[in-house]
A = this chain, B = another copy of it.
């Protein structure tokens, strides 16, 4: 099985290498007879074009670099899947770089400097590989402004915020507002919120959505209904306990991720609050387990697939310098399940 190239094909088919190239790529008209002859030899010799050589000459690799901060984090695979769908449709290849931040710098991603070196080295490798653009997938929707220099190659960030480059992120504020509206529609007025850490942009945006709803729907604004968690299960548990021991506990709580909502469920059970009868709960993220809990949690589904797909769409626009499409911000969608009911009559 010796290496067979365009040259061998040409020789055996009695044509020039140019002709072989033309039939291979359909770049130029070739007489049907000649074409057939070449094709036959290609078949016989089981020829497979060498994309490396092709790329060197044509200066196109049809390859996109994808940098994921950590593929093991729940949101990432679905985003990658969206990227893949686009790639399949457009005959693009994906080189995946997994920064493995989780393992390398732990869970504190707030200090961008701590992992910039990994990101930069990843970008550098990708540029050497001649990718035509880069998609950067964060694991927390936080601010990564000025993270890496791509030396002119287009880059699109997703699942994180940046103001120097393009970034695709769902509408956090809207999602939060929508959840509130859903609760209000069912008659709730005393609605608490368990937020994530406030150093995170989406926490602030989601809080904005909450506050906007409070104002717009003229809900009672009770500072004690506002709790700041740390995204972890224990803080959900702890803060829910605080909420439920209030003289006038809320009838519903908006929890900024499903993990904390698990804590909420536990706390409610311990305090003798039945969900949703005594307390309605809306989560965020639509984690798989939210459907396995008892009750099944009503939660905000994130448009992850769309974010991946859309990132690629924008990116290829940048690459080909075609008309920059109007970016439509992907929207979250509330998944109705069992953790919300109207408030009890008092």
Contact = CB atoms under 8 A, between A and B. Distances in A.
Interface of A: 1, 46, 48-53, 55-56, 61, 66, 70-72, 74, 76-78, 80-81, 84-85, 88, 93-98, 100, 103, 124-125, 127-130, 151-152, 233, 259, 262, 266, 269, 287-289, 292-294
Contact of A80 (B50, B61, B71, B262): B71
A7 to B, nearest CB: 14
Given A85-B100, A93-B129, A72 B78 contact: yes
Contact of A50 (B53, B98, B128, B287): B128
14 contacts: A1-B151, A49-B128, A52-B61, A52-B130, A56-B56, A71-B77, A71-B80, A71-B81, A80-B98, A85-B103, A288-B289, A289-B292, A289-B293, A294-B294
B61 A152 contact: no
Q: Among the interface residues A56, A61, A96, which one has the most CB atoms of the partner chain B within 10 A?
A: A96
Given A84-B100, A98-B81, A292 B262 contact: yes
Contact of A96 (B76, B85, B94, B287): B94
A343 to B, nearest CB: 25
Q: Among the interface residues A77, A78, A124, A269, which one has the most CB atoms of the partner chain B within 10 A?
A: A77
B48 A52 contact: no
A52 B70 CA distance: 27
Contacts of A46: 151
A94 B66 CA distance: 11
Contact of A93 (B61, B125, B233): B125
Q: Closest 7 interchain pairs by CB?
A: A289-B289, A96-B96, A84-B98, A51-B128, A71-B77, A262-B292, A72-B77
Contacts of A292: 233, 259, 262, 289, 293
